[in-house]
Homo-oligomer: A and B are copies of this chain.
């Protein structure tokens, strides 16, 4: 994942890659003490390892279609849909087609 962070107030383009998907790369957009936002590219057929976000998380599908497995409960996320997961919710994500997700993690660092 390439390192590319934006400053507060900077306008960040999160458009679908569409025909340019082949050259798209995952990137971290924001990394601050209490929030991380990243744009995650997942090619069709790929599945993430089972993982738990470091805090509450929203997962927004920007393009494509993914299958979200929440401890056996399956949710399908298409473009323009969003889910919220509580901190500690274990999950995997499988791309049913070439997909881009916008992940926003709330870090509870004390």
Contacts and interface: CB of A to CB of B under 8 A. Distances in A.
A80 interface: yes
A75 to B, nearest CB: 6
A44 interface: no
Per assembly, the copies of the chain total 2
A85 B34 contact: no
Interface residues of A, number: 39
B82 A37 contact: yes
Given A9-B73, A9-B75, A34 B108 contact: yes
B85 A9 contact: yes
Contacts of A83: 8-12
Interface in A51-78: 55-56, 58, 60, 62, 68, 70, 73, 75-77
- Nearest first, the 10 A-B pairs at minimum CB distance are A15-B80, A12-B82, A30-B84, A8-B86, A106-B106, A9-B70, A11-B81, A35-B56, A14-B82, A35-B106
